[in-house]
């Protein structure tokens, strides 16, 4: 879940009474370093948490399987995090009325209380990202990220702005990476369901919510961490975050030809994704700005190695649609085999919406052809090799 977001990040995770500093070898080459302070907090309760500060430190700042490692691998070494872990800090038990409200103002007040208790342990002037991890409590919702909050501390005069993540008992890599994504400015990843077709042209404006034949289903891109799994951010998000570069490329294809796309999780130099203009704009037909197809290839490499090896996602192209004026910091996954499994039950996903289960085989498999008759675009994966997926793309000459 998210609250309004800003690119700056402050993380407080409330932990046991220890302090640890996390810096990575990768960080020496990183262009951006996000400072994160993590605090552990709990209300007065006879039960003690089974989570230790060492475990939390490893989940956030460890060299493998951590939020830091996730950031570094996703960004091809361009962005990393460093910081401290402090706690536990014990707070007065809230009243029943406060718990029943689930009030954001009360939650912000509690966060300030945690900062007050940690003031002697932490120099808050050094940090821009705050993660507060609470021992599970019914007084808050689940988790939230991306909120901008101003907090007082003895380390500076007045108040200072932070990017805040709060986690209520659900500590996992997915939770950390998802909520941290909101702190980076990312919205949720959507599935774009159009029944018997993959998409329509022209696309209607995203808001207000559509009442036509296509629906955007929030969270239902199951192949990215802003959806439901701790997998690599998709190409739209990586472009938004500025993680592509000359060595790890997103290229815009404007001419017909055959191209090789490397796995988006591979750290090798090469093309990681392709974008193709779907609809130009703004104009009378398309009131939005330009909208693109984004092509990417997934393989069981790094943080993408979470699906069964025979999963359809590893056998073809994932195709999203997006644009700055269309979905900006979110993304829409298209179904390249529409209505193939309308009642499919993905055992890896709980509480899945019925229709979105059709996206189990959303990838465009080798040998299949996707045609956009309105735009005149044709996309056909030809083969998967050790270098990546070979794709033939036809684009009509534009005036």
Dist. CA 189–CA 226, nearest whole Å: 5
Write down the pLDDT at residue 179: 93
Other CB atoms within 10 Å distance of the CB of residue 379 = 23
Q: What is the dihedral of CA 188, 189, 195, 201, to 10 degrees?
A: 100
Q: Which of 187, 222, 240, 219 is nearest to 79 (CA)?
A: 240
Write down the pLDDT at residue 96: 79
Write down the pLDDT at residue 225: 95
Query: What separation, in Å, do the N-terminal and C-terminal C-alpha atoms of the chain show?
Result: 43
Token pair, residue 195, equals 């029944």
Write down the pLDDT at residue 372: 92
Phi–psi pair at 191, nearest 5 degrees? -105, 140
Dist. CA 202–CA 94, nearest whole Å: 52
H helical segments located in the chain: 53-61, 67-74, 96-101, 104-118, 173-183, 235-241
Domains of the chain: 20-183 (3.40.390), 189-394 (no CATH)
Dist. CA 342–CA 361, nearest whole Å: 11
- Burial string for 299-326 (b: 16+ CB within 10 Å, else e) reads bebbbbeebeeebbbbbbbbbbbbbeeb
Dist. CA 317–CA 362, nearest whole Å: 9
Dist. CA 318–CA 171, nearest whole Å: 29
Contact assessment for residue 83 and residue 127, using Cβ atoms and an 8 Å cutoff? yes
Contact assessment for residue 168 and residue 142, using Cβ atoms and an 8 Å cutoff? yes
pTM of the model: 0.85
Contact assessment for residue 186 and residue 170, using Cβ atoms and an 8 Å cutoff? no
Give, in degrees to the nearest 5, the angle at Cα 3 between 180 and 33.
30
Low-confidence ranges of the chain (pLDDT < 50): 2-25, 207-209, 211, 343-355
Contact assessment for residue 13 and residue 40, using Cβ atoms and an 8 Å cutoff? yes
Q: Across the strands, what pairs with 372?
A: 377
Write down the pLDDT at residue 205: 63
């Amino acid at each position: 879940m998210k609250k309004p977001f800003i690119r700056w990040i402050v993380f407080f995770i409330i932990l046991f009474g220890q302090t640890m500093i996390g810096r990575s070898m990768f960080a020496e080459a990183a262009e951006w370093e996000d400072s994160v302070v993590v605090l552990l907090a709990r209300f007065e309760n006879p039960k003690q948490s089974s989570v230790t500060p060492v475990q939390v430190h490893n989940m956030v700042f460890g060299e493998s399987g951590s939020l830091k490692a996730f950031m570094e691998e996703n960004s091809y070494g361009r962005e990393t995090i460093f910081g401290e872990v402090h706690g536990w800090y014990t707070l007065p038990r809230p009243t029943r009325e406060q718990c029943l409200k689930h009030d954001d103002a009360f939650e912000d007040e509690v966060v300030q209380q945690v900062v007050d208790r940690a003031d002697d342990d932490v120099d808050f002037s050094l940090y821009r990202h705050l993660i507060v991890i609470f021992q599970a409590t019914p007084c808050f919702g689940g988790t939230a990220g991306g909120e901008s909050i101003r907090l007082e501390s003895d380390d500076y005069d007045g108040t200072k702005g932070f990017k805040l993540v709060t986690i209520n008992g659900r500590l996992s890599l997915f939770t950390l990476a998802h909520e941290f994504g909101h702190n980076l400015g990312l919205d949720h990843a959507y599935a774009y369901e159009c029944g018997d077709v993959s998409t329509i042209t022209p696309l209607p404006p995203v808001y207000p919510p559509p009442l036509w034949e296509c629906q955007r289903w929030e969270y239902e891109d199951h192949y990215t961490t802003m959806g439901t799994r701790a997998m690599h951010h998709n190409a739209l998000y990586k472009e938004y975050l500025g993680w592509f570069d000359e060595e790890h490329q997103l290229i815009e294809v404007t001419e017909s030809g055959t191209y090789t796309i490397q796995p988006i999780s591979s750290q090798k130099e090469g093309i990681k994704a392709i974008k193709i203009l779907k609809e130009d704009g703004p104009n009378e037909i398309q009131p939005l700005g330009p909208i693109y197809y984004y092509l990417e290839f997934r393989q069981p490499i790094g943080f993408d190695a979470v699906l069964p090896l025979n999963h359809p996602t590893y056998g073809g192209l994932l195709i999203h649609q997006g644009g700055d004026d269309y979905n900006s910091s979110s993304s829409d996954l298209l179904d390249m085999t529409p209505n193939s499994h309308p009642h499919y039950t993905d055992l890896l996903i709980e509480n899945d919406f019925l229709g979105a289960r059709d996206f189990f085989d959303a990838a465009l498999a080798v040998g299949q052809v996707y045609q956009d008759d309105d735009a005149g675009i044709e996309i056909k994966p030809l083969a998967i090799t050790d270098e990546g997926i070979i794709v033939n793309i036809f684009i009509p000459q534009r005036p």
